[in-house]
Structures are given as C-alpha cells and as structure tokens.
Amino acid sequence: MSGRRAQSLPAHMVEPAKPERGRCVAAICFSWKIITCIVSHVLLVLLVVSYCVGGAYLFQHLERPHELEVKRDIQNLRFNLTENIWLLSDDALVLRESDWMANVSKHLANFEKQILTAIKADGWDGDEDLRKSQWTFAGSLFYSIIVITTIGYGHISPRTDWGKVTTIFYAIVGIPLMLICLSNIGDVMATSFRFLYWRICCYVCTRTAKRPRNARSRQRSVRGQRYARSQPPPSFRRSMKMTQRSGNDSGFGPSMGHAHSDPELRTMGRGVGGGYDDREFGHRSSGGRNRRQQQIAAQPRQQRHNIYGDEYEMQTQTLNRGNRYSSRQRQRDRMRDRHTVERERYRHDFDAGSMEDFSDLQPPAKRAASVRSVRSPQHQESKASRELHRLHSAPGRGARAKSVDPRHVSSQHYEDVDEDVVRKTPIIPNRYALDDFGGGSGHQRTTRNAAPRSQSMPRSAHQRQRQRDRERERSPQPPRNAGRRAGSLGRQSTRYGNHLELPDYDAPPQGSSRDHRRDRRGRSPRSYEDYVEESFDEVSLCDGGHYEDYPPVHSKSRSREPRRNHRRRERAERLPPSPRIMSPMGFPVQRQIRRRPSYEYDEDDSMYGEDYGDYGDLLPKDRPVPIWLCVFLVVSYILGGAALFAYWENWSFLDSAYFCFITLTTIGFGDFVPAKGVKDESEQSIAYCSLYLLFGIALLAMSFNLVQEEFIANVKEVARRLGILKDDDEDDRDED
C-alpha cells in the first residue's frame, strides 16, 4: 500500500487534466507557505523590534533636545533668581528685613511656580544633570514599548508638539502590529506549551489517563476527546439530540440507542481495523484475507436485519477505528523520522478528533463537492482503482462495500500523518493571511493524497447505493423490538452519517445521497439548509483555496473535501489568538471571529452547537491544558516578577506584585516605574523590565489561547443550560 502510494504521488502530480496548473499551484503554495512561515515568525518579530528601535531613535531625536532645554532653563532660572537676590541686596541702601523679605518671597513664589510648570507641562524630572536624560536610547526604547503595548506608564511622555503627533501615529501603527506579534508569539508558545504539557506531564499517565477521560467524556458529553474511541457518548448524545430535534425520527431513549450501537460498532471496527494492517503492506495480495475479515465483521450486521443505516454507522466506526490502527502502523513506519512514542498517542487522539471534526464539517464539504462536480463529473479510473474494483467484486455486497473503507482509512490516516506535519507549520497571526495560506497548503497536501484513495470510490458508492436501496426494500419489518430499535438508531445515525459523520467518503454521490437522506429521515429540509448555509458561512472565509486547484474529479473532490474542511475548522478554532486583555482595540477583532461559530450555534440549535462546543478538545494540539495550570502559570509569573523587582528596585513585595499586575494588565499607572529610583543602572533595569513585560504579555496571550477553547466550551455548556438568552452574556464574560 505504501509502495503504491509512493508511486501514485508523482503520478498524481502529472495525472490531472491540467498538470501545469497543479505544479503551479503546488509551487505557489509551497512558496506561500515558506513566505508565511518567514513572515509569521521571524519577520514579524523583526518588524516589531525594528519598529521599536526606530521609534526609540525618533523619540530620542524629538524629545531629547527639549528635555535638555528644560533642564537648562531650570538652571538659568535659579541663576537668575540668585542674581536677582544679589542685586536686591546689593542695591538696597539700607537692608531692611521686612522689605527684603517681601521682595525675595515674591521672587521665590515665582520661582516655585516656574518649577512646577516645568515639572507638569514640560515633564521635568527634577534632575538638573545635563548628562543624564530620560530620553536616552534605552529610555526611548522603553517608551516605544510602553506605547505600543498600550501600557503607558506616563513616567516619560512627549512634551513637544512633534513628539505628541509622532506618538499618535506611532501608536496607530504600532499597536495593531504589536497585537499581531503578541498573538503570534502567544500562539507559538501555546502550541509548544501544550505539546510540552502533554508530552512531559502526561506521558507517564497515558495509560491511566484514558479511563478517566473516557468517563469524563461519557458523563459530560462536551469533552469529546475520545470521541471516536468511545463512540457511545456521541451516539448517546446525538440520538438524544435527534429525538428532541425531529420528532418523527424515533421515540427511543437515548440510552437505548447508545446501548445498541455501541457493542456492534465496536466489534465491527475492530474487525476491519485489524484487517487493515495487512492491507497496508500488500493490498493486492491480501485481498482474500481482507474479505474474510470483513465477512467476520459483517456477521453481526447480518444478524441485525441489514438496515441500511447500520452500515453507515458501522462504516463510520470502522473509519475511526481503522484510522487509529493505521495511525499506529504508520507511526511505526515513521518513527525514526521524527515521531516519538508519545506523539503516537497524540496522533491517536488526533485521529479521533479529526474524525469528529469531519463529521462537523460534512455538509459544507458536500456542497462544495457538488459545486465542483458540475465542472467535471468525469472521473479517471487509474489502474489501481480498477484493481481495487476487481477485488471488490468478489465477495458479498456488504463486504464489498466495506472493503472500500480500509483504503479510505489508510489514505485518510496518511493524511493525518501529514496533517501532523502541517500543524507544525507556523501559525500566522493574521487571520486572513492564515486562511488564505491554509486553504492553499492544506488542499495542496490533500490533493496529493487524494488520488490513490478516491479513485475507486464512485463505484463502491454506487454499489452501496444499490445495496441500500435493496436493503430498504426488504428491511422495514424487523422481527425483534430491539432490532427495530437498532434500526431506528441506525437510521438516526444515517442521518448523522450524512450530516455529521463522515460516511461521505464512501457515500453515494451527492445529489442522490441527499435525496435519500431526505426521503428517509423525513427531516425538514429547511433545517438542513440552514445548517449547510450556516456552516458554509463559517468556513467560507477560508475555503477560497480549494476552488483554485486541480480540475476536480468528482470522487476525488468529495473525498478530499472533508480533510480540508477539517483543516478549516481547526484553523477557525485556532483563529482567535488572544491579545484579549491588550486593549479594546484588540478585543473586537477577536470578538468578531468568535461571533461566527456562536451565531451559527444559535442558528442550528442543537446538533451543530453541541459539536461546536466539542471541537476544542478534539485535536491533540488543541487539547486543552487545564485552566488551573494556566492560571497558576500567570500567577506564578506575576509573583516571580514581583520577587525579582523587589530585589532589583528595592520595592516592597506588595508594591512589586502590584507593579507587575498593573503592567501585565497594561493598565500602567506609572506610580511605580523601574529605573526611576536607581538612575545609574537605569538601562539595565529598563532592559529587565521590557523583557519581563513583553514576555509576560505573550505569556498571558498564550494562556488565554490555551484556556479559551475549553473555557468557551464549558461556558457554552453552562449557558446552554441556562437558556439561550443568557448564553451570549455568559460566554462573552468568561471568554475574556
């Protein structure tokens, strides 16, 4: 399998109708990726740094002369006063105390007033030494940082008109720049921290962690981390949702559905997943064995009155299972590349998560696929697919249909592996650039993988279609009650399958599948439309890329669509990096992003919202680090900073903590400013402080980034219980 895959990779590059465009797009995507990588990390930081340095020079140039002038003025003022007093005393013929006193006190009052003016209006710091200046290079740099982080201590502020004008424009440009940079850094830090956390902290407890997490997902049903692995919770939840959603579907208790679906699916999945390993190494030769496996796997299904719905669910399950298995397999292959053992576990979860994500994103995918299918409905059948077809035609229909799955699974998982690589590519703070780029690169990758997987699909899909039709004809009278339940459950999951789960990999072609679904489910088309459009609304921001690529072979487009969608979703979910506390300017940017999903959630009341709540936990890299850890991190950072500043600046500990808090929240009163007391080491302490606050703000961004998904999910859950009206309030408040 892998060998074939390797073959088909280059083949695929040449294969499509417009190979030159494929290469072109590939080149564009590759260069775009590199460019964005550079832009996102190095260039952005460099930009901010150079912006700060440039600002430092600028402000130094603008403000320093004025400051020195003020100092000179003060000196002159005092000398003048001395001179006046001397003249007063000298000129007086008779030195009478009362007259002299009156005169001099007048002068003194004037002098005091002038000093106060100098302090207030001209920002004189009370120091007369011309060699020392607030607006040294270090001071100006600090000032620039203070401005663009919106901390604004105000211990030095521009006093000249030009300085003020410059500050205004400097802030207008610099603040968004800084926000972008910080969110970028925060994102990177969040990713690495999450990785570190799961690698270091949880590697040991990998085995033991499974059970609790399972239990958690079972009981809470929002945490869908083990979604695919522990299928029960979703089915439980979904059937519940379904029952509440469309009454005509089933009146069966959710737990019932759960009970029925679970064991069956598990066995199915295991059977097919087990067979998968062989297939990976020699697909052609192991056909017989596959068939055997599949027949075994198919047995339970035969027992339960082949209701078409079962198949769907089963396949879903199969996919999930096989995916996991295959990921392990693949893992072994690639181990020496870069994957470590615990990463495997990661991937593991990731696969599950990705599956779940696919299921979320199915409808837009379908739609996009159908759109594309207008353009080129024809599909090329490669030798491989023909081969596969031959293989398929041998066993019974069910097995045949199923035998397609592992292939999908394999390529699917292959993609997953790649996905992991993709996830390593830099995060771009700029959402729009991110979307652009992500759409391009993601689809690039997927197209490469799409060829081997999908070529056999239409045929199998048709077969399935036919089979389902036949099944429909004969199935409707199940003898047992339980069977009936299972059937209805299957139907439910069929709908899910079309909607949320991923059977579209091997599902019948678009229009007909939709048809069937509509016929069978009797679900109101309206909600589906809503759903589709809503989801499209969400992803439409980023879906530009996939239209630009290869001439879409129908099946190919369908099969690779979910992947892209998945990427999209994941991107959308990681979109809000979080300079939340930075400033009100940073806020609405995020707010907007967040609005889409929640709005969508509002629209499509139950199922999508629920899944939206889930997705945060699904991907390994997006798996939440516990909130307490982030809080602990931030608090300890503040306290550590407090200790350091207390040591450096000889403040009391409370003052230092207060200073750190005020700084990191960007309030910046400026009543405590480093390097105010110790003038000699001002540069050093300014450097310390700048580093501290830059890193601290990035840390805050990071912890928000880490926490927000889980937090939002939690809050959404709570809010949903409270009712929709309170929903927005709740999650907004806690999101900050």
Partner 1 sequence: MSSRRSSFRRKEKPAFQRFKDHCRHFTAFMFSNVGIILLVTFYTIGGAFIFQAIEIFEYERLRSEKPHRFIERNVSGECLTRIWELTAENISFFDHKAYRKRVNDVLLEYQRAIVKKQLKGPDVEQWSFSGAFLYSLTVITTIGYGNITPHSEWGKLATILYAIIGMPLFLLYLSNIGDVLAKSFKWIYSKVCLCRICPGVAKRRIIRERRKMRHLARALQMHHMESGGGSSSYSSSSSTTNSNSSSSTDYTKSSYRSSSIVDVAYSGSDSDIEREIRGSTDEITVPLTVCIFVMVGYILWGALLFGRWEDWNYLDGSYFCLISLSSIGFGDLVPGDRVITADRDKVEVSFILCAVYLLLGMAVIAMCFNLMQEEVVHNIRAIKRGFKACFRCRSS
Measured from the CB atom, is 42 or 116 closer to partner 1? Answer: 116
Q: Is 197 in the site for partner 1 (CB under 8 A)?
A: no
Please compute, for residue 491, the number of CA atoms within 13 A of its CA located in the half-sphere on the CB side: 25
Output the smallest distance, CB 412 to partner 1, in A. Answer: 23
Kindly state whether residue 724 participates in binding partner 1, applying the rule CB under 8 A: yes
Closest C-alpha among 269, 268, 241 to residue 257 = 241
CB of 245 to partner 1, least distance (A): 16
Query: In Å, how far are 645, 657, 664, 669, 687 from 637, measured between CA atoms?
Result: 12, 10, 10, 20, 17
> Please, which residue, 81 or 644, has the CB nearer to partner 1?
81
Contact flags string 76-95 toward partner 1, x per CB under 8 A: --xx-xxx-xx--xx----x
**Residue with smaller CB distance to partner 1, 239 or 456:** 456
Q: Are 149 and 667 in contact (CB under 8 A)?
A: no
**Residue 28 touching partner 1 (CB under 8 A):** no
| Count of CB atoms situated within 10 Å of the CB of 209 | 14
- CA–CA separation, 405 vs 503, rounded Å? 9
The span from the CA of 13 to the CA of 556, in Å, is 14
Of 346 and 505, CB closest to partner 1: 505
Write the CB contacts of 522 (distance below 8 Å, at least 6 apart in sequence). Answer: 246, 248, 249
Using the contact rule CB under 8 A, the part of the chain among 98-106, 393-401, 559-567, 690-698 near partner 1 is: 98-106
Ranges within 566-585 binding partner 1 (CB under 8 A): 580-581, 583-585
Footprint on residues 114-173 left by partner 1 (CB under 8 A): 115-116, 119-120, 123-126, 146-147, 150-154, 157, 159, 161, 164-165, 167-168, 171-172
Residue 725 lies near partner 1 (rule: CB under 8 A): yes
Residue 69 contacts partner 1 per CB under 8 A: no
Using CB under 8 A as the binding rule, the residues of this chain from 510 to 529 that contact partner 1 are 510-512, 514-516, 518, 525-526, 528-529
List CB contacts of 271: < 8 A, sequence separation 6 or more: 293, 294, 296, 297
**Among the listed residues 591, 633, 643, 683, the single contact to partner 1 using CB under 8 A:** 591
- Asked if 544 interacts with partner 1 (CB under 8 A), we say yes
Q: How many CB atoms are closer than 10 A to CB 10? A: 10
Distance CA(734)–CA(691), nearest Å, equals 29
Question: Is residue 26 at the binding interface for partner 1, with CB under 8 A as the rule?
Answer: no
Q: Which is nearer to partner 1, 256 or 433 (CB)?
A: 433
Using the rule CB under 8 A, give the single segment among 273-281, 286-294, 382-390, 504-512 that binds partner 1: 504-512
Provide the minimum distance between the beta carbon of 476 and partner 1 in the complex, in angstroms, as a whole number: 19
For the bound state, the minimum distance from the C-beta of residue 128 to partner 1, rounded and expressed in Å, comes to 8
Query: 637 near 193, Cβ under 8 Å?
Result: no
The tokens describing 577, both together, are 């990096």
| Helices marked H in 376-477 | 383-393, 397-424, 431-454, 457-474
Q: Which of 370, 454, 565, 705: binder of partner 1 (CB under 8 A)?
A: 370
CA pair distance 353, 355, nearest whole angstrom: 5
Contact between 71 and partner 1 by CB under 8 A: the answer reads: no
Near partner 1 by CB under 8 A: residue from 537, 629, 681, 695 = 537
How many residues in total does the chain contain?
Answer: 736
Left, alpha or beta for 507 (phi > 0: left; psi -120 to 50: alpha)? beta
Rank residues 4 and 21 by Cβ distance to partner 1 and give the closer one: 21
Closer CB to partner 1, residue 214 or residue 376?
376
Site for partner 1 in 403-462 (CB under 8 A): 432, 435-436, 462
Could you give the CA distance from residue 100 to residue 90 in angstroms, rounded to a whole number? 11
Burial class for 454, CB neighbours closer than 10 Å (0-12, 13-18, 19+): buried
Within residues 231-250, the interface with partner 1 by CB under 8 A covers none
Cα–Cα distance measured from residue 197 to residue 626, given in angstroms and rounded to the nearest whole number: 10
Among residues 387 and 728, whose Cβ is nearest to partner 1?
A: 728
Q: Which helix (H) or strand (E) holds 163?
A: helix 161-196
720 counts as binding partner 1 under rule CB under 8 A:
no
Site for partner 1 in 602-631 (CB under 8 A): 602-603
Can you read off the two tokens belonging to residue 264? 């069956």
DSSP annotation of 205 reads: T
Q: Nearest distance from residue 592's CB to partner 1, in Å? A: 5
Residue number with CB closer to partner 1 (17 or 38) = 17
- Going from the C-alpha of 37 to that of each of 437, 494, 568, 573, the distances in angstroms are 10, 41, 18, 20
In angstroms, give the least distance from the CB of 106 to partner 1. 10
CB of 323 to partner 1, least distance (A): 27
Cβ closest to partner 1, residue 304 vs residue 516 = 516
Out of 136, 376, 382, 684, the only residue in the binding site for partner 1 (CB under 8 A) is 376
Which C-beta is closer to partner 1: that of 389 or that of 591? 591
Shortest distance, position 71 Cβ to partner 1, whole Å: 12
SS3 of 639-651: the string is HHHHHHHHHHHCC
Instruction: Pick the piece of the chain touching partner 1 (CB under 8 A) from 208-216, 319-327, 419-427, 594-602.
Output: 594-602
- Nearer Cβ to partner 1 (78/334): 78
> Taking CB under 8 A as the rule, does residue 387 contact partner 1?
no
Closer Cβ to partner 1, 28 or 37, answer by number: 28
- For partner 1, the closer CB: 380 or 540: 540
Q: How far is the CB of 596 from partner 1 (least distance, A)?
A: 10
Q: How far apart are the first and last CA of the chain?
A: 49
Instruction: Please identify, using beta-carbon distances, which residue of 262 and 732 lies nearer to partner 1.
Output: 732
- Return the structure tokens found at 117: 């003016």
- How distant, in Å, are the alpha carbons of 86, 210, 620, 634 from that of 349? 87, 10, 6, 28
Q: Is residue 622 classed exposed, middle or buried when 0-12, 13-18 and 19+ CB atoms within 10 A define those classes?
A: buried
Q: Which of 272, 363, 274, 347 is nearest to 315 (CA)?
A: 272
Nearer to partner 1, 262 or 728 (CB): 728
The answer to the question of residue 175 lying near partner 1 (CB under 8 A) is yes
Of positions 6, 112, 255, 302, contacts partner 1 by CB under 8 A: 112
Count other Cβ atoms within 10 Å, centred on residue 312. 26
How far apart are CB 428 and partner 1 at their closest, in Å? 14
Site size for partner 1 (CB under 8 A)? 127
CA dihedral 479, 481, 484, 489 (to 10 degrees): -160
By C-beta, is 120 or 336 nearer to partner 1? 120
Contact between 470 and 575 under an 8 Å Cβ cutoff? The reply is: no
Using CB under 8 A, which of 64, 334, 367, 472 touches partner 1? 367
Q: 186: burial class by Cβ within 10 Å (0-12, 13-18, 19+)?
A: buried
Site residues for partner 1, 648-707, by CB under 8 A, read 654-655, 657-658, 661-662, 665-671
- Of 344-352, 444-452, 590-598, 621-629, the window that binds partner 1 (rule: CB under 8 A) is 590-598
